[in-house]
Amino acid sequence: MSEPRAKDDGDISMSKEEYAGSPSSIPLDGTVLPPPPLASLLKRGLLSLEHSEWGRASEFFDRVLDRDPECAQAYIGMLCADIHVQSEERLGDGESPISEHKHFQNAVRFADAKYRTTLQEYNQRIRERILQKQYDQLVERKYRAFAEKEYQELAKKFREIDWKDSTKMAKECDEEYRTLRDRREKLDWQRRHAMKLVRHTGGVYFATFSPNGLKVVTASADRTARIWDAESGKELRKLEGHTGLVRSAVFSLDGSKIITASEDKTVRIWDAESGQSLHFGPPHAGSPAKIDHADYVSSAVFSSDCQKIVMASDDGTAIIFEVEAVTKRQTLKGHAGAVCFATFSPDGQKVITASVDGTARIWDAESGKELQKLGEHADAVWSGFFSPDGTKIVTASSDYTARIWAADDGKEMQKLEGHTNIVCWAVFSPDGKRIGTASWDNTFRIWDAESGRGLQILEGHTSYVFSGSSDKCVPCPVDGENF
């Protein structure tokens, strides 16, 4: 702080104590001394600030202003005392604006050009800190946003702060808003014109598209699986033969076959065109029409070359089976509870299993050796899928979350939070950029596979949503007779 201008006020007298710096002391011997220089009062005020004696500092600066109402340094001292700052140099470190404070305004008014610039720099530092904090908060909100209203509000606020690349951020929010709006309007149209497949007489537990997207296969509690035309909704084939609830029905990668898993403890293969049950192994009279298991079969999936299948069972194991040789290849043991789902990696070299024991596990498909244990879920894990490139895995759990893992080392990459009930299905989109999750909260959600950010919530079902297709993310609820 620079030295103030001293005025000649010979008509003002002070006691020894006052001269020594006591603002309110009264001389005991009546000795009268000339008033102290303004610089002395300013220094005493500054010392009081350093010791956080805010009231005492204000009295010193107020006495300076009594003698020099245009002393900018004294106004700044009063400001420091008011906002509890120990020195002028720290004014720029504050979290609240000072430009509207009366003492700051008076200081700027009476300061010379150089000092005025210094004061304005203090205020600018505060403003930049506030804007940066607001910017960081908005960026964090943008990262986690997934609703139209959120993006609308964020675009407005980014434009208001006008800081760094906030204009660019506002445009990105506008684009996200328009994308979500267009998607919602499209979904609304689709809902208004949607088909209902109403031939099942029991709950639908599984639904998935054929690889070319022209057909849909469903698995039901009515002990059948059914094939439908994806365009018209017409039932094409009814797959009958199981004597228990059909838990899953999945197309082979070439779309020519369908494999079903049932609570009758069997797995069956069907011709996707004719709906006829096919025999395992070479076509001769002795080849079996089904594979028996010791317990309920939760799921059965083909490998990409259709030469192997992997079956998950309530007995805590998964079995890799050679289709043509009609032989058991490997039994994957290690889970402490029922295995809910099992499937191959895209290259067929690995298998992922999901279990009610709260873990998912990665296995070598050739040797049956356990490679990784994914164990961060707090409850049962219902499904696990590899990404199309095989580098990631997504799991769904009763702990209301889905999680993304690195396939090579099993480390958790993202936690997908937002569902309000059990998440029983999670699957990647064909390009690996999105993830779809199905939940008992009656919704199906779409997420960004890289950031874990929620993108869309599909609502409208009246009961649990159990599965969705990796091709088109079709949710499959158990609301009686339709999906």
DSSP state string for 443-475: -EEEEETTT--EEEEE---SS-EEE--TTT---
Are residues 440 and 412 part of one domain?
Answer: yes
Binning pLDDT at 50, 70 and 90, where does residue 18 land?
Answer: very low
Q: Is 337 in the same domain as 427?
A: yes
Residue 482 counted as domain residue: no
End-to-end CA distance of the chain: 76
Tens of pLDDT, residues 233-274: 888 999 998 999 998 899 998 899 999 999 888 889 899 999
d(CA 202, CA 225): 11
Residues 177 and 226 in one domain: no
Residues 190 and 204 in one domain: no
**What are 123's two structure tokens?**
């205020």
Stretch 312-318: mean pLDDT, rounded?
Answer: 90
Question: In CATH, what number is assigned to the domain containing residue 473?
Answer: 2.130.10.10
Confidence band, pLDDT 50/70/90 cuts, at residue 112: very high
What's the rounded Cα separation, in Å, for the pair 176 and 171? 9
Q: How far apart are CA 88 and CA 333, in angstroms?
A: 71
Pick the more confident residue, 180 or 62.
Answer: 62
Residue 340 shares a structural domain with residue 440: yes
Instruction: Show the domain range for 155.
Output: 145-194
Convert the pLDDT of each residue in 327-378 to its tens digit: 778 899 999 999 999 999 999 999 999 999 999 999 999 999 999 998 878 8
pLDDT at 24: 43
Q: Map residue 206 onto helix, strand or coil.
A: strand
Q: Please tell me whether residues 83 and 214 are part of one structural domain.
A: no
pLDDT band at residue 200 under the 50/70/90 scheme? confident
* pLDDT for the residue 19: 40
Q: What is the Cα–Cα distance from 322 to 332, expressed in whole angstroms?
A: 14
Six token digits for residue 53: 């004696």
Asked if residue 338 is part of any domain, the answer here is yes
**pLDDT bracket for residue 14 (50, 70, 90):** very low
Q: How confident is the model at residue 287 (pLDDT cuts 50, 70, 90)?
A: low
Burial class (CB in 10 A: 0-12, 13-18, 19+), 410: middle
Which CATH number belongs to the domain containing residue 62 in this structure? Answer: 1.25.40
> Quick one: which of 466, 470, 471 has its CA closest to 220?
466
Write the burial class of residue 31 (CB in 10 Å: 0-12 exposed, 13-18 middle, 19+ buried): exposed
**Number of domains comprising the chain:** 3
The closest alpha carbon to 75, from 102, 96, 52, 56, belongs to: 102
Cα gap 414→447, rounded to integer Å: 11
Mean pLDDT of the chain, nearest integer: 82
Residue 1 belongs to some domain of the structure: no
Residue 138 lies in a domain: no
Based on the domain organization, do 213 and 311 belong to the same domain?
Answer: yes
> Do 356 and 277 lie in a common domain?
yes
Yes or no: say if 158 and 165 are a contact pair by the CB < 8 Å rule: no
Claim to verify: residue 164 and residue 123 sit in the same structural domain: no
How distant, in Å, are the alpha carbons of 14, 37, 66, 319, 444 from that of 9? 11, 10, 11, 102, 82
Residues 376 and 277 reside in one and the same domain: yes
pLDDT tier for residue 277 given thresholds of 50, 70 and 90? confident
pLDDT given for residue 25 in this prediction: 44
pLDDT band at 192 (very low <50, low <70, confident <90, very high): low
Q: What is the pLDDT of residue 439?
A: 87
Q: 3-class DSSP state for residue 169? A: helix
Q: Are residues 263 and 401 in the same domain?
A: yes
pLDDT grade for 475, boundaries at 50, 70 and 90? very low
